[in-house]
Amino acid sequence: MVMCQTMRLEPKHAPEYRALMLQAYALHPDAFTSSVEEREGLPLLWWQARLSATPDAKDVVFGAFQGGVLVGAVGLSFEAREKARHKATLFGMVVSAAQRRLGLGQQLVATALDCARSRPGVQVVQLTVTKGNAQAQALYARNGFVEFGVEPYAVAVGQGFVSKVHMWCRL
């Protein structure tokens, strides 16, 4: 496992985070619900807001840096509604192609789960992963996530559709 610096991203990281995510949307359109076209049109302020540094931010994003370069990211979105505050959703998991299979995904998921455990009242983290993405699904399973269903036709990609595997982890 290659160690890298994993830290919570802040608004100052928005340009690098935006670039990493736009590259991921372009290279892996079936892995993300968002498209490169819709996200590249968003102002930098949107990306900065997603990286809010407040302790009770709705979204928290972590980045993996190697040599000062952002090479991976993962986010958590916390539910604000009273009856769903016990849940968080893991989103936007990405590691640059050249840094895969080095343990960075494991570091990012572990950091996100630690963050979820530290948020009062959060008991469950959920996610979706594209059906057929065995590497990602195995990473999540190693971290305690269990499949609870498959959503067919979850995301339109080009002229077709991909299904999403729903997984959850009790903290």
pLDDT confidence band for 98 (50 / 70 / 90)? confident
Residue 163 CB coordination number (10 Å): 14
d(C-alpha 142, C-alpha 118), whole Å: 20
Distance of CA 64 to the CA centre of its chain: 12
pLDDT tens digits, one per residue of 26-65: 999 999 999 999 999 999 999 999 999 998 899 999 999 9
* CATH fold for domain 5-170: Aminopeptidase (3.40.630)
Residue 17 has pLDDT above 60, yes or no: yes
Q: Where are the domains of the chain?
A: 5-170
